[in-house]
Structure 1
Amino acid sequence: MAAGEHVGLFPWLVMLLLPEECYVEFFEKFNFFDGPCLKIAISKGLGFGIILGSVMVKLPQIVKIIMSKSGAGINVMAVTFELTAISFTWAYAVANSFPFSAWGEALFMAVQTSAIATLCFWYKEQTLQAILYVSGYLAVMWVLLSGVTPLSVLSAMQATNIPIVVLSKLIQAQTNYSNGHTGQLSAVTVFLLTLGSLARVFTTIQETGDDMMTLTYIISTAANAVVAFQVLWYWKRTEEFTKRQQSKKD
């Protein structure tokens, strides 16, 4: 069968993810250990796995805030810095036409991260701030994604992601240290973010070859790991804090 003559639903589905030569290697030659194609398959699998996971990665955090009706222990400034880094990566990847599997989680994480900040304002009864936060963020993202922002500007913004990521996690880590507990931070969300950013190091190298994005994810993994360590370190104190908060409401 000549190149380009693969017909049927299965070949079509496979070639949505893998190049045709990899379909040939895997499903015609049955060479499942072809080095280049195996790397592509692993990268695509991880990439879409991260995206699927990102749909729910911050839901435990959102649910925890809603159930407790409190954003105690969550530093909104740190959340905003994190949202900024996510949004810069999203806009930079779109402008460079990187495959969705290399950056798609940024879309879902941006929605959830902005929701967390908004809920923190909401439960402090700062309704106007909550509305302004959401509307301001949507306006900024329209400018970044509409094509009116030059690629050089987006590249410069992406370059700032490393200090932004570090700063966001250091602010949250300082808040945790000052409080002596991690408040309403969700352990599930923190650990999933750490694992997700670690997996992204491999997929970014494989799918984009972009050194700036790769370094950003390496730094992000280390920064997330600091907060993850604090979640474990302050586990018992956080449980005590949660019980005290609950008893006050009861």
Structure 2
Amino acid sequence: MEPIQKTLVNPLQPYLRPIVESLPEPVHDAVVSLIGSPCHNTLLVDLDLTKDPACTSLAISKALGIAIVGASAIVKVPQILKLIGSRSSAGVSFVSYALETASLLISLSYNVRNQFPFSTYGETALIAVQDVMVGVLVLTFADRRTAAAAFIAVVAASVYALLFDQSLVDAHTMAYLQAGAGALGVASKLPQIYTIWREGSTGQLSAFAVFNYLAGSLSRIFTTLQEVDDKLILYGFIAGFSLNLVMAAQMLYYWNTPTKTKTKTKTKKPASKQAEKKAPVAKSSGASPKSGSGKSPTTRRRG
């Protein structure tokens, strides 16, 4: 940070200080609530990135967390629009989205119950809602509307049991579920990876969502190390990043590759037989052959 302080921040301090001093009080209060009063004074008031490296790391973590939460609000929107526009779910695995939805709901409940900073998990709620929408669309375009309704009902029951009625799932059970959520998050990527490999194409899978996930999972490793002392969450993000990396590599490898379609073998119709040529039929005139006009001499002798 020292080179940045000397080459960038120090020359700009005469211009940055008036801006900082003119910031309204609610902005300062928001910064204090995020990084604390000492870090607020060091970074924002004094404009010093080198005085306390821990403050700088915390500020970077908070900025990344807020950026991830903000980006998560639209991360699956391109995927949703792509499904609606094509009215096809080719290349998109419902199993993958169902597993990811379960993992996100468990992680959301676990973080809420442990009162972790919202900036470290806020995207789970937003992505879970979008995952449910994608899952419903995939089932709908596969002509499985009853399954889509059942999927919504299961999600609603899970939200009630995990978030709104905490007596149904105690804290001890919740810890076990969080451990399972990490495995679910990893498992949710495998059906999608297999689907891409099987079809030899990414189909209707959104590249924006894939690469956004890759960047988000990498950033979450950093923010978890900085702000959350929980190995269960950290290991889940590390495993998720590894599989997101595989999906990103598939996206690049199968870029613009058309989806394999099951081609029906066309049965060749037998060549039409040429109409048999009818043998020419001699037309009779209906008249007996004409006899010669001359009278033949009679040879019979008269008795």
Q: CA RMSD in A?
A: 1.8
Alignment of 1:80 onto 2:98: yes
> Which residue of 1 is the match for residue 135 of structure 2?
117
TM-aligned CA deviation for residue 224 of structure 1: 0.9
TM-score norm. by structure 1 comes to 0.89
TM-aligned CA deviation for residue 8 of structure 1: 2.8
One-letter code aligned to 1:155: A
1:29-40 correspondence runs (5 A): 29-33=46-50, 34-40=52-58
Alignment of 1:95 onto 2:113: yes
Change beyond 3 A, Cα 1:233–1:31: same
Alignment of 1:22 onto 2:39: yes
Larger radius of gyration: 2
- Contact kept? 1:205, 1:211, Cα under 8 Å: no
What is the CA–CA distance in structure 2 between the aligned matches of 1:175 and 1:9, rounded to whole Å? Answer: 49
What is the CA–CA distance in structure 2 between the aligned matches of 1:37 and 1:70, rounded to whole Å? Answer: 48
Q: Which runs of 5+ in 1 are unaligned?
A: 1-6, 246-250
Question: Structure 2 residue aligned with 1:128, among 127, 146, 163?
Answer: 146
Alignment of 1:205 onto 2:225: yes
Q: Which runs of 5+ in 2 are unaligned?
A: 1-23, 263-303
Q: How many residues align?
A: 236
TM-aligned CA deviation for residue 137 of structure 1: 0.1
What is the CA–CA distance in structure 1 between the aligned matches of 2:159 and 2:109, rounded to whole Å? Answer: 8
Q: Secondary structure at the match of 1:71?
A: coil
TM-score norm. by structure 2 comes to 0.74
Alignment of 1:176 onto 2:196: yes
- Contact kept? 1:165, 1:223, Cα under 8 Å: no
1:1-250 correspondence runs (5 A): 8-33=25-50, 34-146=52-164, 147-148=166-167, 149-237=169-257, 240-241=258-259
What is the CA–CA distance in structure 1 between the aligned matches of 2:186 and 2:243, rounded to whole Å? Answer: 6
What is the CA–CA distance in structure 2 between the aligned matches of 1:173 and 1:56, rounded to whole Å? Answer: 22
What is the CA–CA distance in structure 1 between the aligned matches of 2:92 and 2:27, rounded to whole Å? Answer: 46
- Contact kept? 1:71, 1:123, Cα under 8 Å: yes
What is the CA–CA distance in structure 2 between the aligned matches of 1:13 and 1:165, rounded to whole Å? Answer: 32
Q: Secondary structure at the match of 2:259?
A: helix
Deviations 1:19-67 (A, max 9, x none): 0111122244433322111111101000000000000011111110000
- Give aligned-pair identity as a percent: 33
Q: Which deviates more, 153-162 or 57-66?
A: 153-162
TM-aligned CA deviation for residue 165 of structure 1: 2.3
What is the CA–CA distance in structure 2 between the aligned matches of 1:29 and 1:196, rounded to whole Å? Answer: 31
Q: Which deviates more, 25-34 or 36-45?
A: 25-34
Q: Determine which structure has the larger helix proportion and give its number.
A: 1
Q: Which deviates more, 71-80 or 164-173?
A: 164-173
Change beyond 3 A, Cα 1:235–1:30: closer
TM-aligned CA deviation for residue 155 of structure 1: 0.9
